[in-house]
């Protein structure tokens, strides 16, 4: 079949023929084979036990994307009960901006559209975390390629990527979370953009490109191919993150979760000689301790002498769990200057270890 032959309708379901034969082929007779005993599948690996992931696991986490691939990737982090609410933001921004600016603005607008929609959801409550992403492919000529709109465009897109050799894949990730402090109502927003270079095999034939287009696998993907599926036969090599090409770089997502939830990991202060770098740590029962000696393995205050214990903050007993800790952290920040003044050897720093949130000085 030549490229001039009309492919099946682009709206046809994946794998459907353009015409259905009226003849039904005979089913060949088969010999009965004995049933084989089913094997028990090994249990899935346990989830990553990290403070940032534990803080959102079981909470209302929204993926502002209809992509099943992104949802599957999030499940690898142990976020299996993600609520899928595709953003209604129209991806029709002018492509005059740089690829970085274009993809980042699109991902940010997706996140904000869903946040505005769900922030006052009285039935389900305010989301703990919103995750949005946008992926684009940029040709060697600098053209931004998103999802193909027709089979003709799809074939042309893949030919362009093949003939040019290398191209770039950009995925922007935007995370939003409501602020814990009533002093600053609203949300926290953290974004990042990942870049991966991909090289197609220049020996790919037009016949192979047409066969791939007719699988419909790449019809809903930026650049028109899926590297995690049959589209891998088009790719010779990549330079960068594989899951970035799939549509969601997990390393970036995890880093942004830790940044957008500033009360996570606040217990990792460091001691430098006689100078104590202050930290705020969530303790049992919602207690907050301003000090330096921290049980790093348990992420809670360690037993320490009274000289090291600057102060404790308790919250209302009517609050529970993470909300207690969040409110207490906000209170501890407000009292941060007094905490520093009370320390006989405290060095006022702009941030504490592991990029935790700053204590106001």
Q: List, in order of start, the domains of the chain with CATH numbers.
A: 51-260 (3.90.950.10), 271-355 (no CATH)
Assign 286 to helix, strand or coil.
helix
Per the DSSP assignment, residues forming a β-bridge with 239 are 197
Sign (positive or negative) of CA dihedral 173, 69, 128, 336: negative
Place 29 in a pLDDT band, splitting at 50, 70 and 90: low
Provide the total of helices (H) and of strands (E) in the chain, helices listed first.
9, 14
Contact (CB, 8 A) for 219 and 177: no
Contact (CB, 8 A) for 227 and 207: no
**Which pLDDT tens digit goes with each residue over 46-81?**
888 888 888 888 899 999 999 999 999 999 999 988
C-alpha span between 188 and 180 (Å, rounded): 9
More confident residue, 20 or 40: 40
**Which pLDDT tens digit goes with each residue over 282-310?**
443 333 344 433 333 333 333 333 333 33
More confident residue, 311 or 41: 41
Q: What's the pLDDT score for residue 2?
A: 43
Place 125 in a pLDDT band, splitting at 50, 70 and 90: confident
- Residues serving a catalytic function are 134
Q: What's the pLDDT score for residue 126?
A: 83
**297: which 2 tokens?**
């393995």
Per the DSSP assignment, residues forming a β-bridge with 290 are 280, 311
């Amino acid at each position: 079949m030549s490229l001039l032959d009309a492919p099946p309708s682009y709206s046809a379901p994946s794998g459907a023929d353009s015409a259905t034969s009226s003849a039904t082929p005979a089913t060949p007779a088969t010999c009965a084979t004995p049933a084989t005993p089913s094997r028990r599948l090994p249990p899935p690996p346990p989830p990553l036990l990290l403070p940032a992931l534990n803080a959102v696991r079981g909470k209302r986490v929204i993926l502002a994307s209809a992509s099943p691939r992104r949802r599957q990737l999030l499940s690898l982090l142990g976020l299996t009960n993600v609520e899928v609410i595709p953003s209604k933001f129209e991806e029709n921004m002018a492509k005059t901006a740089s690829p970085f600016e274009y993809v980042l603005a699109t991902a940010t607008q997706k996140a904000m559209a869903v946040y505005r929609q769900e922030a006052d959801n009285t039935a389900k409550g305010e989301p703990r975390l919103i995750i949005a992403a946008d992926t684009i492919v940029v040709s060697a000529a600098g053209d931004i390629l998103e999802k193909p709109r027709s089979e003709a465009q799809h074939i042309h897109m893949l030919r362009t990527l093949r003939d040019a050799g290398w191209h770039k894949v950009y995925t922007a990730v935007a995370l939003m979370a409501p602020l814990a402090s009533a002093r600053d109502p609203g949300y926290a927003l953290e974004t990042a953009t990942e870049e991966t270079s991909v090289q197609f095999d220049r020996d790919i034939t037009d016949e192979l490109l047409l066969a791939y287009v007719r699988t419909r696998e790449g019809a809903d993907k930026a650049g028109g191919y899926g590297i995690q599926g049959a589209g891998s036969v088009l790719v010779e090599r990549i330079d960068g993150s594989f899951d970035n090409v799939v549509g969601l770089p997990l390393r970036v997502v995890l880093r942004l979760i830790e940044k957008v939830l500033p009360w996570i990991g606040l217990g990792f202060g460091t001691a430098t000689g006689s100078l104590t770098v202050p930290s705020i740590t969530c303790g049992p029962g919602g207690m907050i301790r301003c000090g330096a000696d921290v049980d790093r393995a348990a992420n809670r205050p360690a037993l320490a002498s009274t000289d090291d214990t600057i102060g404790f903050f308790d919250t209302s007993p009517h609050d529970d769990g993470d909300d207690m800790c969040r409110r207490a952290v906000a209170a501890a920040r407000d009292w941060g200057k007094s905490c520093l003044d009370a320390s006989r050897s405290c060095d006022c720093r702009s941030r504490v270890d592991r990029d935790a949130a700053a204590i106001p000085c």
